[in-house]
Amino acid sequence: MNARTYEAIEPQRVAFLGLGVMGYPMAGHLARAGHHVTVYNRTKAKADAWAGEYGGAVASTPREAAQGASLVFACVGNDDDLRSVVLGNPAPAHHQTDGAFAGMKPGAVFIDHTTASAAVARELSAAALPLGLRFIDAPVSGGNLGAIQGALTVMCGGDAAAFSRARPVALAYSKAMTLLGDSGAGQLAKMVNQIAIAGLVQGLSEAIAFGEKAGLDMKAVLDVIGKGAAQSWQMDNRGTTMVDGKFDFGFAVDWMRKDLGLVLQEAQHNGARLPVTALVDQFYGDVQAAGGRRWDTSSLITRLR
């Protein structure tokens, strides 16, 4: 990670909530870029390990982490996890909640990198306004490797001025960060991303399985067709490992099913017809049932062998 170069900007006091496979290196890039980072993680041992590696501070609650921060970043599991770190758990009378909003100062911006629903993004954006805060939904694409390399693509929804404040800092771990519309637009764009990926992986799986049944040297075939119109990121980065049957890395099937669940739920609201996506979601269910919950999404090919 030390090979990464960072844009020279004024150091900010920031918080990062959630140190999973994505959040841990993302927060690390913020620290390497010179920002003053306070982290919170549900399992404190992970936060302590992060601080030992990067030298930042550790907070015991999201509220504590957010105190004094101009920007608060988060990358957690789902809608409920997000509500928990943002709004906190119900507090006894005369006591503050432990959520991040309770610790943020007016004018601060919350940037959420969780892949969640567009509805929760709109809900939390509305909750931020009376407090003088801003909420940006900012799901990412690029996976764990993109997070480690600081090369994520970030799709955003929310207030333009707040986005402009967050973007220079978030570029510490991203190669592109784009505002696509009002609150929820980032999450909707991530759904578009996952729809495209699901279809591509299924198509690539069928192509490789077909070629293997036909007796072809599929690594040689992929090398050839990868120079033409069939080329894709999935082919370049997953084709060979699919041929080799290696799936113990990358973006887990469980995560993809969560994302496709959000997609299909949103499609029910907006009327979009997604026959291929719905079918691929069922195929991933087959992979889960076969023990592949943590396999990379390219394991879709295992159903065809």
Within 10 angstroms of residue 97's Cβ, the number of other Cβ atoms is 18
Q: Which CATH architecture has domain 13-182?
A: 3-Layer(aba) Sandwich (3.40)
pLDDT, average across residues 94-102:
84
pLDDT band at 1 (very low <50, low <70, confident <90, very high): very low
Return the domain boundaries, the chain.
13-182, 189-304
CB 90 within 8 A of CB 84: no
**Taking residues 168-181, what's their average pLDDT?**
98
CB burial of 185-214 (b: ≥16 within 10 Å; e: otherwise) equals bbbbbbbebbbebbebbbbbbebbbebbee
Q: Which amino acid is at 245?
A: G
Q: pLDDT tens digit string along 202-251?
A: 999 999 999 999 999 999 999 999 999 999 999 999 999 999 999 999 99
Q: How far apart are CA 142 and CA 228, in angstroms?
A: 23
Q: Provide, rounded to the nearest whole percent, the portion of the chain with pLDDT above 70.
A: 97
Contact 138, 162 (CB under 8 A): no
In this prediction, residue 93 carries a pLDDT of 53
Give the model's confidence band at 89: pLDDT under 50 very low, under 70 low, under 90 confident, else very high.
confident
Confidence of residue 20 (pLDDT cuts 50, 70, 90): very high
Phi-psi region of 225 (alpha: psi -120 to 50; beta: other; left: phi over 0): alpha
For residue range 114-167, list pLDDT tens digits in order: 999 999 999 999 999 999 999 999 999 999 999 999 999 999 999 999 999 999
Q: Please tell me the predicted confidence (pLDDT) of residue 298.
A: 98
Tell me the β-bridge partners of 58: 39
| Selected catalytic residue, list 46, 105, 190, 213 | 190
Q: What is the mean pLDDT of residues 291-305?
A: 98
CATH number of 189-304: 1.10.1040.10
Between CA 93 and CA 90 the distance in angstroms is 9
Q: Provide the pLDDT for residue 2.
A: 54
Q: Is 190 a catalytic residue?
A: yes
Of 112, 142, 136, 144, nearest in space to 24 by CA: 144
159: CB partners within 8 A, 6+ apart: 134, 136
Residues 15 and 62: their CA atoms lie apart, in Å, by 9
Fold match, 13-182 / 189-304: no
Residue 17 main-chain phi, psi, to 5 deg: -110, 115
What amino acid is encoded at 99 in this protein? G
Token pair in block for residue 229:
């119109």
